[in-house]
Each structure stands twice: as structure tokens, then as C-alpha cells.
Amino acid sequence: LFYFRIYALDRNFYPTTTILSLGALLGWSATAAALVEGKNGKMHLVYVFLPYLAIAADLLNSPMKNLAYFLSQYFIIFTSAAILLQVHCLLPAKRNQSLPYRVFQYGFEIIVHTLALLCFLMLINVLCGNISFDYDAIIAVCQTNFSEAAGYFRRLQHRYLLILAAGIGFALLCTSFVCSTARADVNITPNVLARRIGIGLFGILLFSAILVLGQSRIYSSNLLKLLSAPAAYFYENWKFKAVRTDYEHFIQEKLQGEPKSGTDGIFVLMIGESLNKHYMEIYGYTEQPTTPLQKKLQETGSIIVFEHAYSPYAQTIRCLAYMLTDQNQYDNKHLPLRNAVSLFDIAKYNGFHTRWFSAQGAAVLMDSPTAVITHSADDIFNLPEVRATLDHAPTDWDLLQFLPDQLHARELIVIQLLGSHYPYEKCYPPGYLQDSTMSSYEKSIHYNDMVVQQITSYFRDRGAAVVCYLSDHSEDVASGIGHDPRPGVFNQLMTEIPLWLYIAPEFLNRETNAHLAANIQRLRSRVLTTDLLFDFFLGLMQIDSSFTAAKNNILDDSYFLHKDNAYTLGGTYRLKID
């Protein structure tokens, strides 16, 4: 069925991959025939079914590329399965086994059975949900915290089928595991052993053919890429931390010889969570009074509301990494995060005292590179760490009592709110607006509106020069799918975020801000993806750095971004802007 589906799209003939795939099938058939002859088939059931599960999981979770890819996967998967089966056949269950032998045997069995279970679940997921896995989606799950990952799962309509499939699959594999590790060696005669070794060598010979036939492209397995994604992610994190262990040395090396600049002032950046601007009164929402206090700020002309602000991704950790560093989707698209410089780094170098406040806490960042970035701030506060001192589950409102009272002449303060994090009812106190007809999402926005207004007033009273509020990403609330970057699930609503800017009149009236004052109203209609927030905010702070570019600064006349060249999802999805 797969062959005919792909052959309808690609009728070319690929002689090398055809020969290799047929050879792999021949090797696999010979192996299976030997098992049938030896009457040991039931002891190797997982190994027999593994290549078929793997082929189906790979092709259903991969774009149907061409016939060469299809044949390459047959060669890779059936050859690998034949070799695994040969190793399994050569592991007789002796009565007296040494510890290293038992460790190898059980470890080998666990790896193979886990691989079979993962392939089975990937297959069930795509058949029931009609949505395939992709590399970025798996990385996104690795980057998020447990509650957000659980939120993804709770939104799956076929989650109960997945749980049932996982339970059944696990039970069957446990049974198979017992059979595989408790088998007798009655059929291991010299002739059978020699035959199995010969077939194993034949499989290895097929793999070696790649080196000889290098003129024909052998497509690597997308399944292997998906299964190895978590390991690759955590390895990259380990390398990131290793590179930046001596953080001060790293920054000194990056900023060596950089001229210092900047202007005095308190600059506050508030980052909300999962807030869809289309549910806010300041963006025309009329069904419920969700943001009355921000609406008042808008009506009095206190804030500038951006009409075309978009997140660079649909997941918190990736968005934070883009917002807080010089990495972006455009000219710095391929900059490794471990080599990026953060807002905190540049601000500290130019004499600013830096602070990081989070209502979500270190747990949301886990072991991500973003955790290292935020820990470069001078002062760090995570609300969940003081939960024991509160008599209730902490919400954004509790953050207010921990805000600094004494501020320096130069301050950069970044505040991460819980906002409208799923599940929404956890974002506000029990009983909040109990008699209201608002949905839980609307209540979370209304509660967040109070918090944002209070934080804004708090810093305005202390002479803040700039307060900027935005959300990390948006949410497709109406469909119930939240924010999910996977192809087939993602839509642009997940990136359409609110963003507004308060600039103190005293700051705006400074001579050095004459150009800003003259052109401030054009900010409303300009397009901004928040991976360029780094350049924007440093521009407000009047920090001139070699790590910023005038064309990336929305305040500058040479700003390059407009409705026809704006992207999201790390530069892979072009935004459709009216």
C-alpha cells in the first residue's frame, strides 16, 4: 500500500536503492525462515513485528518524499531488524550467567522492546489523531515543563485511546520480554548457530554496501531522527552549559572592547502567557469586559498598542530564548543559542542593574538554555520557591509583594507572569468571578488585567521610563487545541499576541529622544515579531551595541520588517497579515 501510494507520486527507477531494499528483504526472509524451521518463532515475536511497526511509524510520520526514500527505509529498517534478531538468537539463556552477560542481555531486550512500544504508540497516534509527529514538536515537549506537556496531552481528543494502547502494548511487551529472556537453548546446535551467524554477516554486508555504492543517495531515517530527538536536545543543553560554565569569562570575551552606552531609567518588560489578543478589549473584543483597566490606559493615551505583533514560535521556551537574546529568525537564524548574548548581558555591561522575576518559576525552564540566560541577571526571584510562606497556591498577584522598593538609576526588570497558562482555572484564585458568565480563559485574562495594571502603576509611581507588556505566544482557544507547533495543528492564531508600550512623558521629552517622540505613533501599525524585541528594547535603552542592527530595530527609519516578509515558527512559516 505504501509502495503504490508513493509510486503514484514518483515513477522514477532507483536501481541502487531497489537492489539494496530487495537484499534487505531477502536477508530478513532468510532469518524468519530459520526461526520457523527452528520452531522458535514465538520467542522472537517482538523482533518479527518490529520492522513492520517501524516502517509504518516512519512513513506515516514523515512526508511522502519519493520512492528512493521509501526504498531507503526498507533497506535501513529491515537490515537493522535482521541484525537485531541475529544478536537475539545468539544470546542463549544459560543457567549460570555472569553479571556482565546478564546486563547486556537484559539491556538489549529493554532497548528493543522500548523501541517497539514507541513505534506502536506513534502509529496509534497518527491513525487515531490524524496528526503526525515532527522533530520540532518533540523538541518543544522536551523544552516545556510537566504541566504544559500535560496540557498538550489533555487537549488530544484521542488521549484515552493512546492510554489504552499504551497499557495493552506494555502488557504484551512485558509478556514478550519474559519469553525472550527465559528461553531454553535446546535448538542452538552448531549448524543452526553457523547459519544464524552467516545470516547476520549477510545483514552487516548489506550495510557495508552503502560505503561501496556511494554514488546513489541513501535517505536517512526520519524515524531515527524523531526517536533520538530527546537525547539530541539534552546533549545540546549539556554542551550549552559546558560552554557557558565560566559565564563571566564568556561575556568578557563576547563584549571585549565594546564601547559602553545607554541612558538612565527604569525599563520594565512584562511577559504574559498564552494570551490571545482577540480576547482583549484593547483589540476590539466585546463579548466580555476582559481588560477594562488596560482599556482605560488605552483610552487615556497612556499606552501605545501594537496592531501587528506576533510571537516567533508557539511554545514558551523557544519564545523566551528569541525575546531575550540576539538570536532571531532572520539574519541570526542559524546562531547557536550557546553563542548568543542576552538582554541581561548587554544591560549589565552598560551599567544597568538587572532583575528577573517569574511567577512560573525555575521549574518551567527545567534544564533549558533559557534557564542559564535568565540566571545571568543580578537578582532572581521565582514565586514557586516561596510557596511555603503563602497559605494558598501562588498566582500572579502574589508577585506584587516581592517587587523591589529601592531601585537604581539604571534598571532592567523582566517579569514573567503565569498569565493564561493552561489549565486556565489555576491562574486565578478559587471563586474568582464565581457568578460571572465568563469562561475560565476569559477569567484568567480579567485577573491578569488587574495584575498588569498594578505592576504598571507600581513602576510608574517609581519613575519608570518604559513599561512594555506582551505575551510569549497566543492560544487557539476556540478550537481547544491551544498552542501546538506541529504541522497540521499549528495556525497563525497561536502567534497573534498583544503588545503595548508605556513611555513616561519625562523620558520622551528628553532631547536624546526627539526622534522617538516624533515618530512614536508609527509603532502602532508597524509589524513586529518578538524575536526582534532584543533590538527594540536595547534601542529604547539607547544602548548602541555591535550585537544589534538598526534594521532590526522597529524604532529606526531603516527597519526592514513588513507584512510581506514576516515569519514565525523559527522562520519556517510566513505570516499572513492583512
pLDDT tens per residue, range 470-504: 999 999 999 888 888 877 788 999 999 999 999 99
Confidence at 104, pLDDT banded by 50, 70, 90:
confident
Sequence letter at residue 33: A
- Distance (Å, rounded) from C-alpha 135 to C-alpha 61? 10
Is it the case that residue 568 has pLDDT exceeding 60?
yes
What mean pLDDT do residues 146-156 have?
64
Q: What pLDDT does 199 receive?
A: 57
**Residue 189 or residue 238, greater confidence:** 238
How does strand 308-310 pair with strand 567-568?
unpaired
- Residue 56 CA neighbour count, 13 Å, CB half: 17
C-beta atoms surrounding 4 within 10 Å: 7
Separation CA 273–CA 576 (nearest Å): 23
Of residues 374 and 349, more confidence is placed in: 349
What is the band of 207 on the pLDDT scale with cuts at 50, 70, 90? low
* SS3 of residue 107 by DSSP: helix
The neighbour count for residue 102, using CB atoms within 10 Å, is 12
pLDDT in tens, 31-52: 777 666 655 556 677 888 888 8
**Cell 497563525 identifies what position?**
492
- What pLDDT does 288 receive? 96
- What average pLDDT does the segment 533-560 reach? 95
What's the CA gap between 565 and 571, in Å, rounded? 10
* Higher-confidence position of 427 and 374: 427
- What pLDDT, on a 0 to 100 scale, did the predictor assign at position 533? 98
Quick one: what percent of the chain has pLDDT higher than 70? 80
Q: With cut-offs at 50, 70 and 90, classify the pLDDT of residue 565.
A: very high
By the 10 Å C-beta count (0-12 exposed, 13-18 middle, 19+ buried), 516 is classed as middle
| pLDDT greater at residue 221 or residue 382 | 382
DSSP string, 20-44: HHHHHHHHHHHHHHHHHHTT-GGGG
Which segment of 242-246, 364-368, 459-463, 479-483 scores lowest on mean pLDDT?
A: 364-368
Can you list the pairs that 330-338 forms with residues at least 24 positions away whose Cβ atoms lie under 8 Å?
A: 330/531, 330/532, 330/552, 330/560, 330/561, 330/567, 330/571, 331/549, 331/552, 333/570, 333/571, 337/240, 337/369, 338/236, 338/239, 338/240, 338/243, 338/244, 338/369
Cis peptide before 423 (omega within 30 of 0): yes
CB-based contact 227:115 (threshold 8 Å): yes
Query: Would the pLDDT of 513 be above 80?
Result: yes
Q: How many Å apart are CA 385 and CA 383, to the nearest integer?
A: 5
Q: What's the CA gap between 293 and 298, in Å, rounded?
A: 9
Domains along the chain? 2-233 (no CATH), 262-429+439-573 (3.40.720.10)
pLDDT at 65: 65
Residue 145 in contact with residue 320, Cβ under 8 Å?
A: no
- At 213 the pLDDT is 55
Q: Residue 166 above 50 pLDDT?
A: yes
Q: What is the pLDDT at residue 38? A: 57
DSSP label of 335: -
Distance CA(352)–CA(114), nearest Å, equals: 51
Is pLDDT of 215 > 90? no
- Residue 363's pLDDT is what? 45
Of 144 and 478, more confident: 478
> Which stretch, 15-19, 155-159, 185-189, 429-433, has highest mean pLDDT?
429-433
Q: Would the pLDDT of 364 be above 60?
A: no
30 pLDDT above the threshold of 70: yes
Pairing of strands 567-568, 379-382: unpaired
> Where does the pLDDT of residue 519 fall: very low under 50, low under 70, confident under 90, or very high at 90 and above?
confident
Residues 6+ apart with CB under 8 A from 198: none
Are residues 135 and 569 in contact, defined by beta-carbon separation less than 8 angstroms?
no
Residue type at position 371: A
Distance CA 501, CA 305 (A): 7
Tell me which residue of 327, 307, 302, 232 sits closest to 497, measured CA to CA: 307
Instruction: Look at residue 216 in the predicted model and tell me its pLDDT.
Output: 53
Least confident of 92-96, 135-139, 357-361: 92-96
Q: Could you read off the pLDDT of 529-539 as tens digits, one per residue? A: 999 999 999 99
CA distance 280 to 500: 12
CB 455 within 8 A of CB 400: yes
| Model confidence, pTM | 0.78
Q: Among 122-131, 140-149, 287-296, 340-349, which is the least confidently predicted range? A: 140-149
Of 25-29, 67-71, 178-182, 276-280, minimum mean pLDDT range: 178-182
Q: Which amino acid is at 415?
A: I
Q: 45-60 and 99-129 helices cross at what angle (nearest 10)?
A: 40
pLDDT at 330: 95
Grid cell locating 216 = 546513489
- The whole-number average pLDDT for the span 17-34 is 77
Task: For residue 266, give the H/E element and its range.
Answer: strand 265-272
Query: What average pLDDT does this structure show over 531-560?
Result: 95
d(CA 65, CA 70) in angstroms, rounded, equals 8
Q: Report how far residue 43's alpha carbon sits from residue 181's, in angstroms, rounded to the nearest whole number.
A: 9
The stretches of 38-145 forming alpha helices (DSSP H) are 45-60, 67-89, 99-129, 135-143
pLDDT over 70 at 5, yes or no = yes
pLDDT, average across residues 219-237? 78
- Nearest in space to 443 (alpha carbons), one of 460, 424, 463, 423: 424
Percentage of the residues of the chain whose pLDDT score is greater than 90: 43
Question: Residue-wise over 237-262: b if at least 16 C-beta within 10 A, else e?
Answer: beebeeebeeeeebbeebbeeeeeeb
Mean pLDDT to the nearest integer, 229-235: 80
Half-sphere exposure of 268 (CA within 13 A, CB side): 31
pLDDT at 459: 98
